[in-house]
Chain A
Amino acid sequence: MASLSRPLSVWRRFTNICFISFSGVAAFLVLAPLAAIFGYLVYKGIGSITWSFLTHTPRPVGEPGGGMANAIVGSMMILGLGSLIGVPLGIGSGIYMAEFGKGRYVTFVRFTADVLNGVPSIVVGIAAYALVVLPQQHFSALSGGVALGIMMIPTIARTTEEMLLMVPNTIREAALALGIPQWRTTLQVTLRTASKGVITGAMLAFARVAGETAPLLFTAFGNQFWNLNPNQPTAALPIQIFAYAISPFDEWHRQAWAGALILIVLIVVAVSAVRVVTSRGSMANNA
């Protein structure tokens, strides 16, 4: 017993304490910027969010007032267009990978989706520029939507696949045994069972592209005025924040903070809602 209760050597105790304090400090250092960013954002932004900020278009330099109403609406339009492209394609390929997926082809698709996920957004922007803007000869909300839609596909596809794979096979077999055709089984039984998780994936993808600026710089391009035509250059919240942030005017800096606060509130609400929904209900388990 004596050997068991022998005290640790000084060196071992020292390294152990170093290690524990280092990981504690690391946790703190990682969390600190988040607190700093949120705190500063709220501190700077909240005073600048006024009614006119939410309802007016930008004013020329020097004139007080003005807002980002057109950018907020423009962002929603571009995101809507993006979702129209990204959600069906993403969910469709997710279903294919999970339900019909065996063999090399599906592994290849899965791998490509993961790699596509890591392609820089600015490169996606160039591709959308070459695909939509160049043939049309003008910037448009549509081209921005194409860029964001493409960025949504891999995320949605992979989460859909993962969620569907969690659905127990017995449920599929039960449906098929009742004589329901495959397509109906997949859509109304399997997909519906996993619907919570699939929606989560779509929301996360949406939140991820909502703040994207780089792919919109030369697709949607931005606009100082109201525009509801998807075929015209359109203002977007992230572009507007960027333009105002690098400008030399205090009034514009103020509005950039306000815009950033609105953007982040939208994103955080989406992500937290998803988190609450998924943690409350078991996703694909047959409870």
Chain B
Amino acid sequence: MFKSNKLAQATFFIFSSLYLTACGGGSSLDSDTDTVTPPPANSSTVWTAGTFAPSSEFKDQCAVPRTGNDPFNENQPYPDTAGSEFTEKMWLRSWSDETYLWYDEIEDNNPDNFSSVAAYYDQLKTFQTTDSGANKDNFHFSQPTEDFFKESQSGVVSGYGINWAFLSNTPPRVLRIAYLEDGSPAANAGLQRGDTILSADNVSINDNTEAGIEILNEVLFNPTAGSTHNLKLRSNDGTEKSINVVAGNITQTPVQNVNTLITENGTKVGYMQFNSHISIAQPELINAVNKFKTDMIDELVIDFRYNGGGVLALSAQLAYMVAGPANSRGFDYYQTIRNDKQPNDTPFPFIDFEIDYSTFQATNNTLPDLNFSKVYVLSTEGTCSASEAFINGLKGINAEVILIGDKTCGKPYGFNPTHNCATTYFTIQFSGVNEQGFGEYSDGLRPTPTPQFDADVQGCLAADDFNHQLGDKNEGLLSTALFHIENNRCPISTQTAKIKQPNISVNALADTGLPLVPKQPLYKENMDLTRPTPTKGDSDE
């Protein structure tokens, strides 16, 4: 294992280097002055349907070129040169043709027929649908590059430390507390999972005026650090409470409620709630696994219900810590599949070492492992991206994954954010498959006692249960998992459970009235594919 691990580390190094080369923050110019240089001459300044010049011919030719130096790129001069909206569109067109996963499903429309670069970009994608009728591509975005480079401390969110669940986002709205960050203002004020918000700063949660919505959005989701607000909530026992709480910049606790439960028949079950794949979770996951080893657990339940994804390397580490070397040795965890114009990356292995996430270099510390061939995963539609990769990666090595809850969000895709003319573009450029080559779960991974299709996962449908705390043996998903552990089948009551999970965007579109717009950290529902590199001095053995 050690030897193959060294090989994997060397592979990481090589491909990480390539990755960085391909996707670096910016390019440099020879000039260090503020003058805007004219665009290079090219022979492709006219759109011809079906004919694509290399995107490099149009790169950084901007309608409004930036001048001066880029503070996010070592104060190097901006790479922009004088161009036009047409050259920006032509770059997008060629870049999409080169890198978009389904480039042959893009209609090659005349760029001049679109009033703006943004409008043109919006249609540079597939409009086909999945088997379920959903859009095939729901992840086509752009944003100002300056916003892309805004940074914050890992795992810091502004607010009170409340993670809301939207059971209904339009009147009559139902927002309940899904979980709290440990030690946060909300936790210290005595709020609990399941509490239902009634009003914020005396604005009813059902207010449907623009002014009311604005206040609710600000107070609930985007309060200024240091500001005090009043929240009225109803607890699960029916009592109402009014609290004044001060917003702050809160450190997240990505791993919570690590505990060893003992079932009625004496089975030791390790449980942990894993909320997000962020770098600061690494030591907490290691501590949790070490505790489970010490406790000599028989079964493991990982609660991914609110885990929208993040750093893929972290999920590969967790998968290794569950499966151990005996089950994962020599197998791939995740393989990216790009279009036929792009080379595929080297597969991601199960990672058995700690990573310095500031450099993405491997350390010399090996990870603990449980050597399990079976794991219970609790899921909802908020279980996304890197969390889905965990499920799919383990299924790829024939580990038994028992999925309890609702189907997952369905995001087996990723992209390399690419900058041009002060805008950063995100277009789907790869999907990910497991050791067995499976990765088509764009409609979500579905728990079912009787799997029939590739995206079906052995398990039980069960509803998120806001009437109990997470980690409570009586909480709906966990109790279903515990029942399955003891009886090797689903409880009858959950097999027909109707699920209504808080999916913000779906509810906002499907219902009537004004929706609230929460602010969420970037890593939620996404995947960061940065790869670890070997420690300095490691050889390619």
> Are A and B co-members of a single complex?
no
Q: Which residues of B contact A (CB under 8 A)?
A: none
